[in-house]
Structure 1
Amino acid sequence: MAEITPAGSGEAPRPSAPAPDGMLRIRGGVGGLSFQFEELLAGAAALDVVVRRLYALEAEADGVRRALFGYQPDSYRSGSNAMIAVGEAGRDVSRVRAELEHIAAQVRASHREYEFTEARNALLLRMGLGGPEYGSAQGPFELPGVRDQVERGVALAPHGLALLLGLPVPLAALVGTLAGPTDVRRTVRELTMAPGLRFLEPRPVTVIGSHTGAEAVDLTPAGLLRRAEAVGRNSGDIEIIKVDGGSGRAWVVIVPGTQLGGLPEGTNPFDTAGIAEALGYDSVETTAAIRQALREAGATAGEQLAAVGYSQGGIHAMNLSDDKAFLAEFDLKYVLTAGSPVGGITPEPGIGSLHLEHQHDWVPGADGQANADTKDRVTVTLTNSLVMPPPQDFGLGPGHRLENYAAGAEAVSASRDPSLLASTAALAAVVGGGGTATVTRFSLRREALPARGAVTAPGPNRGADTPPPARPPAPALGPTAAREPQGVPG
């Protein structure tokens, strides 16, 4: 557990970053820096309450001492001793009160220093002056991983473009500062409007079939991620599990990663257009289909659920945590993602999340934003060595393999880190301990592209002045096993 500066050392309290836990580098949660500072400020506020009470006690002690003046002539010795005793007690209270005021001031000074340093580092990073000394998770002699390089490269795209156009370095830094981090959501939406890319625009997604059965289910983080791999073998499928959770009936939604092939072109909700919908349009159509599937599975309004997603599926799962219509109907308590770029998604308060990312997996950095460090949000970076696969099986790289993340999830469950203990306990409180559960596989399909030359009305999520998507039909893909695409993010 991260420790603060010990009391009595003469220094202002300073939180420290948690030490790595084996191959796990942990950020956020109850052991994270942000929560430590929240706790310190809460402690400073509590000290303020005590200080006010001590001020009142000082005044009361002084009042008692003054009241004894009239009785001193009756018994000079005892009266004097009483006044001296009360006066010394008042001075002791004053010393304690002054020390507590000093401690509270040190805590607040430490917090201001932290905020200043964070703001300074953010400004320097936006100017392209990055490095380990500016908040990087790596040590001074350790090169950043692929994820961090991609994340920083995407965030600093305006600065890089300015350099590419030949602007002087100081002016390029100014352009990058004024432009701020790349808005990936806006960029994706603009791309979908470009000629030839309108097929990436969201189209309605519906449930076309389901299959229900009872089976033994492993509800640990590793077990749930392995189920996401199994679900991903069937194009367009999601899985909904009805469990006896910690406080009654609960549900688990499992969303797979990106899939290519196996269905008529454009009809698989988890193809490359699914990435655009997730990153640029908040998964509006996929969320509607998940709500429909939950209702058909028997879920009722207000029931608790957890969402699990791998790669693209993790973006869809995390978007549920920020969808007001979905949250008004279902009580989402927890989201588990693996290899997913979800730094730009802010869940509603009270929703816990655990994000697994490998330092050499570029996909989680594709949105250019690091996950927030909060009490309820824990990010685990895996640092284990990877085995280079044969070229034909390289896919998105060895770091993005789901089995690698499942192994990391097993290490998470075995860890004694306070942030991970609290996070896995929050998941168990929703889904329970596992056992036999009712499992329903739902087949989802996206509305097919209109035929060439066809005129269609704008969809519900397309402006009235926006022409409908159209492109020449591509050759049909033959049925293949669903798998992560070559060179396509998550």
Structure 2
Amino acid sequence: MAGQSDGETSFSITGGAGRVHYTLTEIEAAAGRINLVAQDMGEVAATLDSELEWISSFTARLQASGLQGAEATHFAAGVAAGGLASAQGSVAAAARGVQELAAHASAAARRYEEAEAETVARERARRSRALFDGVQASTAGIFLPLVLWWQYHVLRDGADRQGMRDTAEDMLNDGPAYIAGLLGPAVGLGYLLGRSPIEGRGRSGALPAAGVRKFVDWSGLARPGHLELRAVPAGEWHGRAGDWRPGHAVPDLSGDVQLAVDPSVSGLLAGSQDAYGYPPGSIAVDRLDRPDGTRAWIVHLPGTEDWSKVDSANPFDFEGDLEGMTAGQQTLFEQQQIVVQELMRQALADAGALPTDDVLITGHSGGGIHAAAAAANPAFLADFNVKMIIIAGAPARNLPVAPNVLVLDLQNDDDLVAAADYGPPPNSVNRVTVTSHRPGAAEGKGTGDVIKDAHDLGNYIDDATALEQSNDPGIKAVRDSVGLFLGTAAAGGGPATVSRKVYQGRDADGPKTEAKSKPVMPTVPRPMKPGRLFPEPDIPPLPLPGAGAAVTGGPGTVSGRP
């Protein structure tokens, strides 16, 4: 972890280029390979030593023979022996150095294993402490209010020390142990005996998210649905969305809007802020024509927009969040389509994106979940060449983003939403996680305001602006990647011009029905009469007067009267 400070805001940065992180298996494998090299160099040194002995013995016998030219040969052999001796000494020294390196690598593997064991031990101790707290509360009797006050005080102290996000993650992971203890000593003992060994937190948040989605599906709070898409005219972007229904006429959609994008993380993330201002359920798709003639696309996603009910017509609702968080377990659920992901797919296809075009996705909160879910979906990556995602305040650590996709994950130490994935994001080369610490953010504010400000996208954009001055190698790699993607590195670093389209998605309940067209009856040409150039016209015979129908107009009538 690296700490960076810029002005009033400081940052903790993990992952990314220039930061070493290996697994225990990789360290052990490296130590084994280094040891093999040392063995090979030792064998080379032994071979050189035996060759040196042979040359020394040969020159001694040659000199003792008294043959003509023996003296000159002895001198040449001596020079060769000296060279071999020098080479043998160098190889032997190098072999010893490599052996020491192998020993250090093995020692590093042992230290890494000990560190992992220490982490597991801390997790177990935390679970045991949570279990004890639950048992203490269940047996407190009349002292229960005092016990609960003290436990709250400890939690609040932890939140002040490490931030609300980390405290919430601890509570989510330790919650089952606390509840088991709260149900009584017998249940707590059963929990202790029945729990499996803890191996860190891993993807501990994936199972709870799947459980919540299963519940809302079973209870009928969420119903399977499908996407309905429309392109939003520019006149509706910042006004109220009209009452649009599939099949009804809409204004001209052909005009794109030209925008200038600042070539920075904050400039790109501002696109997600724009998406909040468009009609509900809308995303922005920017077409970027680079100076080198290639084309790229930027997709901007808003966060959760509708909290009125679990399953609304807006794809960015609680059901949509669950779809994104459980994207890796999609086969467990009746609805196979991830509506927001399908919204991105259809919008990019309609805008003209090709599978070879580079794509960058930005997203805040729930939009960040969907950005990570798309970057972790092999089917989506097969259709679109996602190069990078920039997310803020998103609980997306349980989504295994493809290793060739660069991730910039912005978080805040008091953002409770970012804690919904139960732990910190993985520490990997392609994933840079930045946690901001905003001094004085809680001064004079209530807890609710602190939580709201911590998750606010505008504050995350301010963090990204301050982060531009960081010298961290991971952040520098992100800045370089943004410049290369936008093509501004070759164009002198000025703003990039994009053509924007806005697309609105609707989560319609039930399966998608295909429009049925009326069957077309085949026409049979009438035969031509001899001597006629065209077929006989197909005109029904007129009814005769007095045959049950009045005749009006036509031959034999005057002014339409018989």
TM-score (norm 2): 0.67
Alignment of 1:164-243 (within 5 A): 164-167=182-185, 172-175=191-194, 177=196, 181-182=204-205, 183-195=207-219, 198-211=220-233, 212-234=256-278, 235-243=280-288
Amino acid at match of 1:144: Q
Structure with more relative contact order (C-alpha pairs < 8 Å, separation 6 or more) = 1
**What is the CA-CA distance between 1:110 and the residue it aligns to?**
0.6
Alpha-carbon distance, 1:246 to partner: 8.1
Q: Is residue 2:423 matched to residue 1:439?
A: no
Give aligned pairs, total: 426
Cα 1:441/1:126, change in 2 over 3 Å: farther
- 2:2 paired with 1:18: yes
2:174 is matched with which residue: 156, 162, 167? 156
Q: Residues of 2 paired with 1:142 and 1:32: CA distance?
A: 29
RMSD of the alignment, in Å?
3.5
Q: What SS does the corresponding residue of 1:341 show, helix, strand or coil?
A: coil
Contact persistence 1:159–1:175 (CA under 8 A): no
Q: Is the 8 A contact 2:52 2:84 kept in 1?
A: yes
Whether 1:258 and 2:304 are equivalent positions in the alignment is yes
1:11 alignment counterpart: none
In structure 1, which of residues 46, 66, 87 is the aligned counterpart of residue 53 of structure 2?
Answer: 66
TM-score with structure 1 length normalisation? 0.77
2:126 and 2:95 map into 1 onto residues whose CA distance is 47
Verify: 1:275 aligned to 2:321, yes or no: yes
- Partners of 1:305 and 1:332 within 8 A in 2: yes
2:113 aligns with 115
Q: Secondary structure at the match of 2:386?
A: strand
Once the two structures are superposed, residues 225-261 of structure 1 have per-residue CA deviations (whole angstroms, 9 ceiling, x without a partner) of: 2221121122111011111358721111110011138
Find out whether 1:369 has 2:453 as its counterpart. Answer: no
Displacement of 1:127: 5.2
> 1:318·1:335 contact (CA, 8 Å) conserved in 2?
yes
Does the 8 Å CA contact 2:414/2:454 hold for their aligned counterparts? Answer: yes
Cα distance in 2, alignment partners of residues 426 and 130 from structure 1: 45
Cα contact 1:123–1:177 (8 A) shared by 2? no
SS at match of 1:143: helix
1:54 is displaced (CA, Å) by: 2.5
- What per-residue deviation string (whole Å, max 9, x for no partner) do you get for residues 181-236 of structure 1? 452232222221342xx233452123122343111122421112222112112211
Match of 1:343 in 2: 397
Cα deviation for residue 56 of structure 1 reads 4.8
What are the residue-to-residue correspondences of 1:378-389 with 2, within 5 Å?
Answer: 378-385=432-439, 386=441
Opposite residue 242 of structure 1, the aligned amino acid is: R
Residues 1:400 and 2:459 are matched in the alignment: no
Q: Are the counterparts in 1 of residues 166 and 419 from structure 2 also a CA contact under 8 Å?
A: yes
For 1:430, the equivalent position in structure 2 comes to 485
Structure 1: unaligned runs, 5 residues or longer: 1-16, 132-139, 449-455, 460-490
Between the aligned partners of 1:295 and 1:63, the Cα distance in structure 2 is 71
Partner of 1:98 in structure 2?
96
| 1:324 CA drift (Å) | 1.7
SS in 2 for 1:397: helix
Could you tell me how far apart the structure 1 residues matched to 2:81 and 2:182 are? 80
Structure 2 equivalent of residue 475 of structure 1: none
Preserved CA contact (<8 Å) 1:339 1:364: yes
- Per-residue CA deviation, residues 239-295 of structure 1 (Å, 9 max, x unaligned), is 1111135872111111001113899x8111112222222223467221112100001
Counterparts of 1:18 and 1:359 in 2: how far apart (Å)? 15
Structure 2: distance between partners of 1:193 and 1:56: 67
Amino acid at match of 1:66: E
Superposition deviation, residue 40 in structure 1: 7.1
Give the residue type in structure 2 aligned to 1:276. Answer: L
Change (3 A) 1:393 1:99: closer
Whole-Å separation in 1 of the counterparts to 2:423 and 2:291: 34
Secondary structure of the structure 2 residue equivalent to 1:337: strand
1:29 aligns with 2:32: no
Distance in 1 between the 2:291 and 2:483 partners? 7
User: CA–CA distance in 2 between the matches of 1:20 and 1:159?
Assistant: 36
Cα gap change, 1:368 to 1:51, in 2 (>3 Å): same
- Does residue 55 (structure 1) correspond to residue 73 (structure 2)? The answer is no
**Which residue of structure 2 lines up, in the alignment, with residue 411 of structure 1?**
466
State the one-letter code of the partner of 2:60.
Q
Q: 1:306 to 1:159 in 2, by over 3 A?
A: same
Residues 41, 108 of structure 1: 8 Å contact kept: yes
* Rounded Cα–Cα distance in structure 1 between residues aligned with 2:210 and 2:447: 34
Give ranges in structure 2 of 5+ residues lacking alignment. Answer: 65-73, 130-157, 234-255, 329-336, 489-494, 514-562
Tell me the residue number matched to 1:324.
378
* Counterparts of 1:255 and 1:154, CA distance in 2: 27
Q: Distance in 1 between matches of 2:196 and 2:42?
A: 48
User: AA paired with 1:409?
Assistant: A
CA distance in 1, matches of 2:261, 2:442: 29
Query: Taking structure 1 as reference, are residues 205 and 365 closer, same or farther at Cα in structure 2, changes over 3 Å only?
Result: same
Report the residue type matching 2:413 in the other structure: Q
Question: Quick check: which has more Rg, 1 or 2?
Answer: 2
Q: Shift of residue 370 of structure 1?
A: 1.8
> Which stretch has the larger CA shift, 120-129 or 424-433?
120-129
* Structure 2 CA distance for aligned equivalents of residues 395 and 384 of structure 1: 11
Question: How far, CA to CA, are the matches of 1:413 and 1:130 in structure 2?
Answer: 43
The answer to whether the 8 A contact 2:59-2:78 is kept is no
SS in 2 for 1:99: helix
Q: Rate the CA distance shift 1:206–1:424 in 2: closer, same or farther, 3 A.
A: farther
**What per-residue deviation string (whole Å, max 9, x for no partner) do you get for residues 405-425 of structure 1?**
101111222211011111232
- Name the CA distance, whole Å, in 2 between partners of 1:281 and 1:36: 26
Structure 1 residue 429, shift from structure 2 partner: 2.5
Secondary structure at 1:200 match in 2: coil
1:244 is aligned to 2:299: no
Cα deviation 1:47-95 (Å, max 9, x = unaligned): 4575355335314422431331212233478566864663464244213
For 1:218 and 1:277, the matched residues in 2 are separated by 32
